Amino acid sequence: MIIAMAVLVTVVIIRNSSGIEQESVKKRNDETGIKMSWWGNDSRHKYTMEGIDIFKENNPDINVEYRYGEWSGYEKRTKVWMESHTEADVMQINYAWLEEYSNDGKGFYDLNELSDYIDLNNFTEDELAYGIKNGKLNALPIAMNTHTFYYNQDVLDKYGLTVPKTWDDIIDMGKVLAEHDLYVLGMSKKQLFLMLVAYYEQTYGEKVFKEDGSLNIDADDLAHILEFYKEMIDEHALCPIDVFDRNKYMSGEIAGTMCWISDTKIYCDGLAETGAKVTRAAYPKASGAKYSGWYIKPATMWAISAETAHPKEAAMLLNYLLNDPAMARLQKTEKGVPVSDAAVKALEGEGLFDTNEYKAMQEMMEHQEELYLMIPNMENEKIIDVFKSEADEYLFDKMSLEECAQNTYAAMKEIADGKTPEE
């Protein structure tokens, strides 16, 4: 007698040496299987998997497999998946990836074709526009993002300092805190790069990048950025990138930070949980600045693979992730304040208006006219990495300012122009 197996269940967990990627595969032969991928911290992994379980309970004929990990290294894995056409059906993507993987609009599925399953009415035309490439709706924003500054008010009070309003204020604060082996600011290398862009654009009245992503500055201009960068390090206005540790900020060794609104729970709420009083500060400004130097973008986005064999099921999952009240209540403001009207409505009774993310978002909206849409190359990891590595030569006195500026400019230009330094 041959007994047919009605159900086949397989569970696979893959973990690399650092433990940052996991993959769960569960498949039934009577289900439609789709894959999903995202990045984030443990909290995000937990609520996302809980959300997937709810989706599967409500849609028993759809099975969802998933990959997830920390941001570190995730972009490189995504590149491998995209180039080998093994990406997930539903993908959390960075805004800059639209330019990298879908400049012609064909890199991701056109969500307009799936409007029977995705409620696009929860988004304004302006919000939908962020995900449009070459007339095709490639992705939908989860939340909007810009930078914000948070300071440990207890540290400022201890040393008789006030929240800085200008770049000079930050430098002067560094001179005071240096006497106690403390720093004014600490942040990641991407935030550092974007902060230096803001400083240059305010101070010198020209953009660092053109609209097409190419550089709008030359080596002499870059020298001004490098010189200010070194001054911040030397004067303890900025903790060196290789020394920065979030724990130093939490312990008060670093007075403040610049972070995305979507990271507010980590840098603002997290610091407050240590018992510190936290102050959100306005952007530092240069007197008479022509440009604000600060930018806005979708925090993260959901997209569907152009290669998906199951667009209907993928669209149903994407709609659930963005618009379903159950998912909204699980996610809350962990990725920032939701863009979807349905998600916002679901959170209105959950204390949304009292969150620091909402307060920061409201401030962002009040100053929206001063913010520019982020150019994808501003987040290009290759550009940021080469800036950091070349700048180190000058910071550690291994190269003159002029030589470092020339080398840094040449390397950044090649990448911005779509080449690599090896070509």
Task: Flag whether pLDDT at 23 surpasses 70.
Answer: no
* Residue for token pair 């569960």: 26
Give the 3-state secondary structure of residue 299.
strand
Cα angle vertex 215, ends 95, 370, to 5°?
60
CA distances, 61 to each of 23, 64, 326, 361, 416 (Å) = 21, 10, 19, 38, 45
Task: Flag whether pLDDT at 415 surpasses 80.
Answer: yes
pLDDT of residue 388: 97
Task: Flag whether pLDDT at 18 surpasses 80.
Answer: no
Q: Are 232 and 170 in contact (CB under 8 A)?
A: yes
Task: Give the strand pairing for 254-260 and 183-185.
Answer: parallel
Beta strands (DSSP E) in 267-414 are 278-281, 295-304, 372-373
Cα–Cα distance for residue pair 388/271, rounded to 1 Å: 27
Region 266-288: mean pLDDT is: 94
The chain-wide mean pLDDT, for the chain, equals: 90
Region 113-140: mean pLDDT is: 97
Q: Which of 160, 193, 196, 195 is nearest to 179 (CA)?
A: 160
Structure letter (DSSP) for residue 374:
P
Region 289-299: mean pLDDT is: 94
Question: For the segment 205-262, what is each residue's pLDDT rounded down to a tens digit?
Answer: 999 999 999 999 999 999 999 999 999 999 999 999 999 999 999 999 999 999 999 8
Q: Are 374 and 296 in contact (CB under 8 A)?
A: yes
Tokens found for residue 68: 């997830």
Tokens found for residue 223: 């020298």
Alpha helices in 280-355 (DSSP H): 311-323, 325-331, 341-347
Residue 193 banded pLDDT, cuts 50, 70, 90: very high
Q: Are 310 and 34 in contact (CB under 8 A)?
A: yes
pLDDT of residue 41: 87
CA distances, 134 to each of 82, 100, 110, 260, 324 (Å) = 19, 13, 10, 28, 29
Under 8 Å CB-to-CB from 404, ≥6 apart: which residues?
223, 226, 390, 391, 393, 394
pTM for the structure as a whole: 0.84
Q: Which amino acid is at 421?
A: P
Cα–Cα distance for residue pair 318/315, rounded to 1 Å: 5
Task: Flag whether pLDDT at 19 surpasses 80.
Answer: no
pLDDT of residue 349: 86
Among positive and negative, which fits the CA dihedral 183, 185, 189, 194? Answer: negative
Cα–Cα distance for residue pair 250/271, rounded to 1 Å: 5
Task: Flag whether pLDDT at 200 surpasses 90.
Answer: yes
Question: For the segment 304-363, what is each residue's pLDDT rounded down to a tens digit?
Answer: 999 999 999 999 999 999 999 999 999 999 999 999 999 999 999 889 999 999 999 888
pLDDT of residue 422: 44
CA distances, 118 to each of 123, 168, 176, 187 (Å) = 11, 49, 54, 37
